[in-house]
Chains A and B, each alone.
Chain A
Amino acid sequence: MKTEMPLSRPLRLFVSQTETLLDTEISLLRNPEADPNGMLVDVYTYDVDKNLIIFPATYLGLLKDFIIARHCVHLLIKGAAAKKSRYLVCSFTGDSVYRGIHQIYIDALKDEAKKEKKLPVHKLIRMLNILYTSFNDDINELPWNPITNARVYHRMPQIRKSQLYYLMKEGKADMDEMMEYEEVIPRRYFVLNKSMFYARDQYLAKTLPADQLMPVINIPQMKKFNHLEVKEMLTTRWTHTSWYQSKIFGDNMLEIMEKYLQKIDWNAEPDLDYFHDIYRLGVQMTNHFISYMSMKDWFVWESPGHLREAQARKGEYENKALKKIFGDLFEESPADSSGGKL
C-alpha cells in the first residue's frame, strides 16, 4: 500500500487483505478535485499498471475510510472476475445505441402527444442521447453499490456511522438526478431512474438496518407515501404521480435485488472464489434489471476496453442512429456543446 496519510487499523487491514488476495498494490491519493464518491482507477478496467483509489481532499477521517473500503470491495470483485473468468461491463455498439435511442424516441412521442407545450426538436434529440448514456452509466454502477455497501457494513463495523451519513447524502443526491427534467423526459424513464435508486436505498435501509435510509423517510418527494391513510388513498390522485410510480416500480426492483443478494453470505471469509461468485450474482442481477426495464437489446456485455472505445465513438453512433430515425431531417452536429444539459 502506498500512502503518506495515517489510516485507522481496520482500514489498513482491509486494504492489505485486498492487496494480498489480488496480489497487487493499491495507492491512495487525496485530490481536491475528486468526485465526492471518490474514484477507482484499476488495472482491470484501465490501461494502468497499478491500482489507485482517489478520494476528495476534504475527507480526512472516517468518511475517507468508508470511500476507500467501498472501492476496495469493488476492486476485489473486478479482480476476482478478471482472474477467474473475464471481467465484463455493459458496453454498447452502433446497433445497440440505435435500438436504445429508437425506443426512447417512441416513448417520447407518446408522452409528447399528451403535452400542450411540445419539446423543440433539437432538445428532443439531445434528450435521447442523454437518457441513453445515463442509463448505461447507471446500469454499470448501481447494481454494485448495494453489494459493496453490504460487504463493507458486515466487515467493517468501525465505520458504520460514517457509512450511514454518507449513504443518506448519496441517496438524496441520486434522487435529485434528472429532477429538473421531470416534465421534459418521458415519464417511464424518470420513473425507472428513480426506481433503481429507490430499490438500492430500501435494500440498504434493511441491510444496515437504518430506517433513515428508507426513501419514504429520506427523500422529501416520497415522504407522503409513508403511512398513507385509506381516505387519502381514495380521494387523491397521488397514484398518478411519477414519485408514487417510482415507489411501486422500486418495490419490484427491490424484490429482484433481494432475490440475488440473499444468496451471499456477507460474513464469509474472503477468497477469490467468493468474490467471483459475487461478481456472477451481480451480473445476473444486472441482466434481470435490464430485462425488467425492457432494455434487453440496449447494451452488450463486453470488456472495459470495448466500453472505452465505444465511449470514444459515442457521437458517431448517436449521429448514425439519429440519421436512421429522422432520415434527412437530421443534420449531424460535430460535437455536443450542451455539456449534458437539455
Chain B
Amino acid sequence: MTTNEVIGLLRKGRAYASRTRYKEAVSYYEKALALDPGNPETWYLRAAVFMETGRNMDALSDCEHAIAINQNYADAWSKKGHALYNLGRYDDALFAITRALALNGNDAAAWYIKGVCLEELGRDDEAQEAYGKSLELEIILDMEAEKKKMGK
C-alpha cells in the first residue's frame, strides 16, 4: 500500500520534473522506490524523467517494472512504446503503443507515436489515420485548456 510518505515524495519529484530539474526529481523517486518498490507509479515517473534525459534503456527497464506490477497501466505501456521507438525497435514499439491505446484510447501522444511507428514500418495510410486521431484529441485537450484559462 502506498504510504503518505511515498505520495509526498512523488509530489516533490513531479514538481522538480515539471521545472526540468531532473536530477532532484530522480532522487525523490529513488527515495520512494526504497520505501515502496511495489508502487508502479514511481517506476513510471522515473521512466518519464529518464526519457527526458535521453536514457531510453533505463526508461524501458522502469516501464517494464511498472507493467510487471500492473499489466493494465496504460501510461507505462505508452512510455514503453516511446522508449522502444527511440531505440529504433519499431515493431516492439508499435505493439506496446497498441496495448496502451487499447487501455486508454484518449491518449493523443500515444496516437502520434503510433503514427511515427507505422511510418517507419512503411504503413503510411494507417499512420495518417493515427495522426488524425491524435490531432482530434489534441484539439479537444487544447480547447478544454483554453476554457479553463478563460474561467480563471
Contact = CB atoms under 8 A, between A and B. Distances in A.
Interface of A: 4, 6-9, 31-32, 58-63, 158, 161-162, 165, 169
B134 interface: yes
A61 B54 contact: no
A60 B135 contact: no
B86 A8 contact: no
Contacts of B145: 58
Contacts of A31: 20
B123 to A, nearest CB: 12
B142 A6 contact: no
Interface string B120-150: 1000000010011011001101100110000
Interface of B: 18, 20, 51-54, 56, 82, 85-86, 108-109, 111-113, 115-116, 119-120, 128, 131-132, 134-135, 138-139, 141-142, 145-146
- Kindly name the residue among B53, B82, B85, B119 whose own CB sees the greatest number of chain A CB atoms within 10 A: B119
A161 B54 contact: no
B134 A61 contact: yes
Given A61-B131, A169-B142, 13 more contacts: A6-B85, A6-B86, A6-B112, A8-B116, A58-B141, A58-B142, A59-B142, A60-B138, A61-B112, A62-B134, A63-B135, A162-B135, A169-B146
A63 B135 CA distance: 7
A294 B131 CA distance: 46
Contacts of B108: 60-61
Given A9-B116, A9-B119, A60-B108, A4 B138 contact: no
Contacts of B146: 169
11 contacts: A6-B85, A7-B116, A8-B112, A8-B119, A58-B142, A59-B138, A60-B138, A61-B112, A158-B131, A161-B135, A162-B138
Contacts of A58: 141-142, 145
A7 B120 CA distance: 11
A34 to B, nearest CB: 12
A4 B115 contact: no
A8 B128 CA distance: 10
A32 B20 CA distance: 9
Nearest to A9: B119
A4 B119 contact: no
A109 to B, nearest CB: 36
A62 B135 contact: yes
Given A60-B109, A61-B138, A8 B54 contact: no
A32 B19 CA distance: 8
A60 B51 contact: no
Rank and list the top 3 A-B pairs by shortest CB-CB distance, nearest first: A61-B112, A60-B109, A61-B134
A145 B50 CA distance: 36
Of the listed residues A6, A58, A60, A62, the one surrounded by the most CB atoms of chain B closer than 10 A to its CB is A6
